[in-house]
Amino acid sequence: MEKSRIRPHHLVTKLSQLFNLETSLDTVLAVSMYKLNHYMDSERSSIFVFDPLNKQLTSYSSLDLAKQEIRMSKSTGVTGWVFEHRMPAIINDAYKDSRFFRGVDDMTGFRTRNLICTPMIDDKGKCLGTIQSLNKKNGDFTPEDLELLGVTARLVAVALNKNKAYDEMLTTNITCGKLGNRLSAELAISA
């Protein structure tokens, strides 16, 4: 198997093992970004999840931001462009690309040289957000890197949907439990 095909296979194996063992979404996403940095040979990676209520993209996981949340319009920067167009982007000179939003660099003190970003689209065709890697340590991002990022985006979309379904199930069970307890209490009082 050629090297460019082995890399995605190894990452998929590692992430699949993680998703099967870990139930905390924060942990899954943080470790996913760590693994992605390793396999992409990049300095930073992050996930931006779409918040439909505020029509914003919110940084959900980034190893380097130490829980510093970034919120931006769904049309801002490369992340916004990728989200709205549902197309990936490879930008090997960030400050020369008109889509690049330098405000995040200004806020974090980080200097983005190059980046790669792809949409996270679930199995129903809904775009949940984007995933990106910044500053490849050696050279420029390539189409092979984009393939690796795309595989990761699909796996993270599954994890996000799985977590949402789990949260909805818990909420339903808690509500049903409270309703059952209230009904039992009312029946006991009336008896």
Q: Write out the DSSP string of 143-181.
A: HHHHHHHHHHHHHHHHHHHHHHHHHHHHHHHHHHHHHHH
Pull the structure tokens for residue 138. 């050696």
Residue 176 confidence (pLDDT) above 90: no
Pull the structure tokens for residue 109. 């003190």
Residue 24 confidence (pLDDT) above 60: yes
Residue 166 confidence (pLDDT) above 50: no
* pLDDT attached to residue 180: 46
Entry pTM: 0.75
Measured at the alpha carbon of residue 65, what is the angle toward residues 102 and 112, in degrees to the nearest 5? 30
Nearest CA-CA partner of 117 in 103, 102, 100: 100
pLDDT confidence tier of residue 9, bands split at 50, 70 and 90: low
Nearest CA-CA partner of 149 in 60, 46, 76: 46
Lowest mean pLDDT, pick from 14-23, 116-125, 155-164:
14-23
Higher pLDDT, 28 or 96: 96
CA distances from 178 to 168, 169, 173, 191 (A): 15, 14, 9, 20
* pLDDT attached to residue 182: 53
User: Does an H or E element contain 60, and which?
Assistant: strand 56-62
Q: pLDDT, tens digit, for every residue of 57-92? A: 988 765 554 556 788 889 999 999 999 999 999 999
